[in-house]
């Protein structure tokens, strides 16, 4: 069997971000999407981050997901050096319960977009879903998996409502 080449690059500013980014990897795997996970810092390894972003498209990646806490400049650095879509996950850091990361990730200058998702676990999962949605534009197999995923979510909500109604009326 041929090796499946990763199509999503996940770059985190610190290994301490892994407990959040683990949800991104797990969600991508649910859709059969392989990823590469790296630790790079916009401040401590800027040359490596730039080199990675500049070569990402040539290396077969279709989307980059970045995550950082604190000053959270990583996604902007990545976005500034690639034509690929970049999705930013603000990670709770040591200050402001992640609001500093959110503002650093979302406040990008015109021409350098970073699609920013929620802080923490929900954002980590949503970043994976957004990456799959982007790739599903040209991949009918992924599109079918997304339709099934959304149908399952709807069924779970309806089942939960039915349970609640039975408890309230029973």
The CATH number for 88's domain is: 3.40.50.1970
What are the tokens at 91?
Answer: 């990670």
Average pLDDT over residues 57-84: 95
Look at residue 59 and give its three-state secondary structure.
coil
For residue 81, being part of any structural domain is answered with yes
Q: What is the DSSP letter of 95?
A: S
pLDDT over threshold 60, residue 129: yes
Average pLDDT over residues 145-166: 98
Q: Which domain holds residue 129?
A: 8-138
Give how many domains the chain has, as a whole number. 1
pLDDT band at 1 (very low <50, low <70, confident <90, very high): very low
Q: What percent of the chain is modeled with pLDDT above 90?
A: 89
Average pLDDT over residues 83-98: 91
For residue 155, being part of any structural domain is answered with no
Average pLDDT over residues 57-76: 94
For residue 147, being part of any structural domain is answered with no
For residue 58, being part of any structural domain is answered with yes
For residue 152, being part of any structural domain is answered with no
* CB within 8 Å of 71: residues ≥ 6 apart: 42, 43, 100, 104
Average pLDDT over residues 8-30: 96
pLDDT band at 71 (very low <50, low <70, confident <90, very high): confident
Look at residue 86 and give its three-state secondary structure.
strand
Cα dihedral 61, 63, 69, 71 sign? positive
pLDDT tens by residue, 40-66: 999 999 999 999 999 999 999 999 999
pLDDT over threshold 70, residue 10: yes
What are the tokens at 106?
Answer: 């979302």
Name the more confident of 52 and 71. 52
For residue 143, being part of any structural domain is answered with no
Average pLDDT over residues 28-34: 97
For residue 144, being part of any structural domain is answered with no
pLDDT band at 93 (very low <50, low <70, confident <90, very high): confident
Q: What is the pLDDT of residue 3?
A: 66
For residue 122, being part of any structural domain is answered with yes
Q: List residues bridging with 38 in a β-sheet.
A: 11
């Amino acid at each position: 069997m041929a090796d499946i080449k990763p199509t999503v690059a996940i770059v985190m500013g610190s290994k301490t971000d892994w407990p959040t980014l683990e949800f991104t990897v797990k969600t991508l795997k649910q859709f059969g999407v392989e990823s590469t996970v790296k630790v790079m810092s916009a401040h401590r390894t800027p040359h490596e981050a730039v080199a990675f972003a500049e070569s990402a498209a040539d290396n077969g990646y279709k989307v980059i997901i970045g995550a950082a806490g604190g000053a959270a400049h990583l996604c902007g650095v990545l976005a500034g050096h690639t034509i690929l879509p970049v999705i930013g996950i603000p990670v709770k850091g040591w200050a402001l319960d992640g609001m500093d990361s959110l503002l650093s990730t979302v406040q990008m200058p015109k021409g350098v977009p970073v699609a920013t998702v929620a802080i923490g676990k929900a954002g980590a999962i949503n970043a994976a879903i957004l990456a799959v949605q982007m790739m599903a534009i040209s991949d009918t197999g992924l599109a079918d998996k997304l339709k099934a995923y959304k149908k399952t979510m709807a069924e779970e909500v309806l089942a939960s409502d039915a349970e609640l109604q039975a408890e309230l009326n029973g």
